[in-house]
Amino acid sequence: MPIYHKLGKIPKKRHTQFHKPNGNLYYEQLFGTIGFDGMSTLLYHHQRPTMLKEILGQKDVSPKIAVKKNITSRKLIGFDTAPVDDFLDSREPLLVNNDVHIGVAAPRESMSSYFYKNTDADEMLFIHKGEGTLKTLVGNIEFEYGDYLIIPRGMIYKIEFKTKDNRILFAESFHPIYTPKRYRNRFGQLLEHSPFCERDYKLPENLETHDEKGDFIIKVKKQGVLYELLYASHPFDLIGWDGFNYPYGFSIHNFEPITGRIHQPPPVHQTFETNAFVICSFCPRLYDYHPKSIPAPYNHSNIDSDEMLYYVDGDFMSRTDVAPGNISLHPAGIPHGPHPGTYEGSIGQKETEELAVMIDTFKPLMVTENGLKIDDGKYYKSWV
């Protein structure tokens, strides 16, 4: 839930004449969500944003499902996903349902020949390795290791990487991604008990204005199909904009963990929410300080949700034999908990340096063919 933001030049009153220096009009566009009821931004273009010249091609990029109904706890070796030059080609969905597609990407090259727009889903990109610039219609965001990038559906963007070794966890959400409601007051401001605040956001900066005509390719994802569209004007042609609907960044390193005398449940780690799943950040923190506390989590049953945990860095105290880039899946209905020895071994420990991203879905996740290829095949036996 970002705050009101603006860049560039805008008219004093919305939906009124806004003239260029030569007397011609700038073109206003509403970039809104949930019809006219959700967050929105008003964009002011040099050129009409509707000048489609050709539909050059299309390809089906729908996930290929290998396991529709899953009861098996799994460990996927995310870094076994091979690097690929192109950003879109590198994205491999691993765990999916009708609400969210979760996967990893290892792009080597920047997006230099095209722009991209996902019309179906908000996107969360978690930067595990690499750094660069998210360049968007409404401005640029510098990113680095540990950054979440939240990109609302319909936003035109491209990514410039400064490195070749890039690793990204992504989630394509078919529901809007917000900050948790319990962290916000009725005005939308983040409250004092929130583990982060508005100062931590990375907002778009350095609005690039390209008043250019020519041939510009925008790859558009819609209903599992990637279309290649040719437009007659540069998509980054805004003179200005203002509103609430725009991409933003947030560093996992700025998440301030909530701790207590006894073990705190996973919701204290919540960072983002939708109607269908939540995203949590497990960060370095002090352990529980009750004299009889057991810092390791208690065994628990995922009765209502599938739990996916992506390991980023550090020593995850309740797991053995996990490494950066590993993904564990604990399906709904099956109890899970700390690995043998870690429950007892956590007693007396004072802190953890673990870093991980968790996504809990309220509907079961299916395993794709790509996901099955990197499954170690034995994780479900690791509690024996």
pLDDT tens figures, 67-77? 999 999 999 99
Same domain, 375 and 243: no
Does residue 71 form part of some domain? no
Q: What is the pLDDT of residue 79?
A: 97
Q: In this structure, are residues 58 and 228 in contact, taking their beta carbons and an 8 Å threshold? A: yes
C-alpha pair distances (Å), 123 with each of 66, 118, 171, 178: 23, 8, 6, 12
Same domain, 26 and 106: yes
> pLDDT class for 1, splitting at 50, 70, 90?
low
Q: What is the CATH number of the domain that holds 282?
A: 2.60.120.10
Pairing of strands 213-222, 115-118: parallel
Q: For 229-242, how does the pLDDT look when each residue is reduced to its tens digit (9 = 90+)?
A: 999 999 999 999 99
Q: Residues 6 or more apart from 216 whose CB is under 8 A from it?
A: 115, 230, 231, 232, 233, 234, 235
**Tally of domains in the chain:** 2
Does residue 70 form part of some domain? no
Domain limits at 282?
Answer: 253-381
14 secondary structure, DSSP code: T
Q: Residues 6 or more apart from 165 whose CB is under 8 A from it?
A: 83, 108, 129, 130
Task: Tell me the residue length of the chain.
Answer: 384
3-state secondary structure 187-199: CCCECCCCCCCHH
Is a pLDDT exceeding 80 seen at residue 66?
yes
Does residue 158 form part of some domain? yes
Same domain, 49 and 127: yes
Same domain, 212 and 332: no
Q: What is the pLDDT of residue 367?
A: 98
Q: Residues 6 or more apart from 187 whose CB is under 8 A from it?
A: none
Same domain, 44 and 160: yes
User: Where among 251, 283, 301 does a domain terminate?
Assistant: 251
C-alpha pair distances (Å), 339 with each of 283, 322, 343: 20, 11, 7
pTM: 0.96
Q: For 30-58, how does the pLDDT look when each residue is reduced to its tens digit (9 = 90+)?
A: 999 888 888 999 999 999 999 999 999 99
Instruction: Tell me whether residue 23 is exposed, middle or buried, using C-beta atoms within 10 angstroms of its C-beta: 0 to 12, 13 to 18, 19 or more.
Output: exposed
Does residue 77 form part of some domain? no
User: Where among 251, 280, 307 does a domain terminate?
Assistant: 251
C-alpha pair distances (Å), 1 with each of 33, 152, 185, 188, 251: 13, 11, 12, 8, 15
Same domain, 296 and 232: no
Which amino acid makes up residue 242? D
User: Where among 209, 229, 251 does a domain terminate?
Assistant: 251
Does residue 12 form part of some domain? yes
Does residue 340 form part of some domain? yes
Comparing 78-87, 118-127, 245-254, 288-297, the range with the smallest average pLDDT is 288-297
Lookup: tokens for 187: 């005005």
